[in-house]
Chain A
Amino acid sequence: GENVEQHPSTLSVQEGDSAVIKCTYSDSASNYFPWYKQELGKRPQLIIDIRSNVGEKKDQRIAVTLNKTAKHFSLHITETQPEDSAVYFCAASMGSARQLTFGSGTQLTVLP
């Protein structure tokens, strides 16, 4: 089955700096790669996603890049703010009817 690895496990940045989280996946058939933000005790919230036919996607301060050949994708957050502090998970799946395989998570702390 699919295996998703995520790094780093913790990341601290100063407010205003950028944060980058990286994930690799194992199954070349995976074609959907979402990123979730999860606050303590809450449900994961989709912040951005990318499909395998696209190399990069941006939404305001958040961007995701995908390298299908290398089977890795990254989350980029620019101009970080304290409210960006949370746990971020990457995930991968094959098609809309398939389950998500999650990475291990990154605890992001934005220091004011």
Chain B
Amino acid sequence: GAVVSQHPSWVICKSGTSVKIECRSLDFQATTMFWYRQFPKQSLMLMATSNEGSKATYEQGVEKDKFLINHASLTLSTLTVTSAHPEDSSFYICSARDQGNTEAFFGQGTRLTVV
């Protein structure tokens, strides 16, 4: 299957700083990527849909100015958590779908810990 790579796998940052997470589709072009957040023992909740060359679509309750998404190319989307706080600590996972392929491919996730 297609490969989606996410970086970094884990990151620890101080409160008030910003963290950037990258999501790359390695062997296919993804016009759309999705960003999910997963708190411990909970499900994956969609944060936003990242569209190549246009603004991201955010789910209700997700602050677009706090979670900045950039999808500048067909193989890369980035999520920047700005002014991070301890409550932003979570597992962030991206996914992408190859055109014409219903299956979604997930990145390996990023464990963010804000101290």
Contact = CB atoms under 8 A, between A and B. Distances in A.
Interface residues on A, range: 20 to 34
Tier of interface size on chain B: 20 to 34
Contacts, number: 51
A99 B57 CA distance: 11
A82 to B, nearest CB: 21
B18 interface: no
A44 B104 CA distance: 10
Interface string B93-114: 1010101111110111101000
A3 B101 CA distance: 23
Interface stretch (B42-50, B69-77, B80-88): B42-50
Interface of A: 32, 34, 41-44, 46, 49, 51, 89, 93, 95-97, 99-105
